[in-house]
Amino acid sequence: MDGILDATRAFFDGLASVKWGPLALGILCHLLKVLARTRAWRNIVQAAYPKTNVRWRSVYGAYVAGVGVNAIVPARGGDILKLYLVKHRVEGSAYPTLAATLIVDTLFDTVLASALVAWALAFGFLPGLDVIPSLPAIDWLYLFQHPRLALAVVVGLLLVVVLGLTWGSRKVKDFWRRVQQGFTILRQPREYLRRVALWDAVDWSLRLASVYFFLRAFGLPGGAENVALVQTTMSLATALPFTPGGVGTEQALLLYVLEGDAPTSALLSFSIGVKIVLTVVNVVVGFLAILVMLGTFDWRRHTARDADAIERA
C-alpha cells in the first residue's frame, strides 16, 4: 500500500512534465482497441447463436460496462455484468454458452501473452521465484511465501469443482452441451481467423501502440523492448487481479523490468499515472454504458436478481 501511495505522489509531482499529445493518443488507441475487441466477441457470440441477430452495440455496451467494473472491483467481478447484459440482449442465450464465448475471446490473448512472458523469462527480464518475495506489492505474494497454504487453496478449489459437478450430475450433459455451443466458431478455422483472430490482431496492435504513447507521454524510452516489457507486466497483473486491475502486481513488476531505464520517481509516476488514466477512462465509459443499458448505476441489484439463474445453469 505504501508503494502505491509513493507512486501516486510521484505521479502528481511530475504531472506538469506529462506530454499531453502522446497521452491523448494513448487513450485514443486504448478506446479503439476495446472497439476491436468487442467486434471479435460479437462474432464469437453470433457463431454460437447463428439464428439470432446479435447486435454489436449491445456486446460493446456489455463489454465496456464490465471493463468499467473490473477497473474498481477485484477478481474480475465485471465479467459477471458482461454476461448478464449480453444474456438479456441475445434471445435464447444461456450463461454457460456465453461464459464459454469469453474463454474463446481470450485464446488469442493467452497465446500472445504467454509468448511475451516466455520471452521475458528466457532473457531474464522478469524476476525469478527467488526474487518475487522481495517485491512486496505483488498481489499473489502471500501464496508464494506460504506454499502449503497455496496448495491447500488449489486443493480446496478442485474439491469445490468436483463436488459441484457431482451434485449437479443430472444437469451435466445439458451444461456441457451449452458450453460446447460457445466454442462453435473454433470448429470453423477460417471463420475464426477472419472474424476473430483478425480483430484480436488489431486489438493487440492498438494495445502496443497505446503503451508506446504512454511511455512517451511520461518521458520514458519507447523502444520495442520497453513496450513489450510493459505489456508483459500488464498481462501478468490482470491474470490474477486480487486488487482492482492488479495495480500492486503491475507496479512492482514495472519497477523491476524497467529498472535502470529511468529514475525510480519517473517509473513510479508512469506506473501509477497510466493506471489512473486508464481507470478513469474505463470507469467513465463503462458506467455510462451501465446507465444507458440499465437506466441506473446500481448494477449489483440487477445481477443479483439473476444470480439464481446463473447457479441453475
Domain range summary for the chain, segments of one domain joined by +: 2-8+17-264
CA atoms of 32 and 72, how far apart (whole Å): 21
CA atoms of 108 and 88, how far apart (whole Å): 27
> 78-87, 209-218, 242-251 — which one is most confidently predicted on average?
209-218
What is the model's pTM? 0.80
With contact defined as beta carbons under 8 Å apart, do 43 and 188 qualify? no
Higher pLDDT, 2 or 84: 84
pLDDT surpassing 50 at residue 313: no
Q: Using one digit for the tens of pLDDT, what is the confidence trace for 137-160?
A: 444 455 545 455 555 655 666 666
Bridge-partner residues for 262, per DSSP?
259
pLDDT surpassing 80 at residue 105: yes
Distances (CA, A) of 172 to 146, 162, 198, 218, 235: 35, 12, 34, 52, 33
Q: Which of 187-201, 209-223, 239-253, 292-306 has the lowest mean pLDDT?
A: 239-253
CA atoms of 115 and 31, how far apart (whole Å): 24
CA atoms of 197 and 74, how far apart (whole Å): 28
The pLDDT of residue 238 is 73
The pLDDT of residue 87 is 92
The pLDDT of residue 266 is 81
Higher pLDDT, 4 or 118: 118
pLDDT surpassing 70 at residue 100: yes
Residue 91 burial (C-beta neighbours within 10 Å; 0-12, 13-18, 19+): exposed
Residue 117 burial (C-beta neighbours within 10 Å; 0-12, 13-18, 19+): middle
CA atoms of 82 and 299, how far apart (whole Å): 11
The pLDDT of residue 304 is 72
- The set of cell numbers assigned to 74 is 477485484
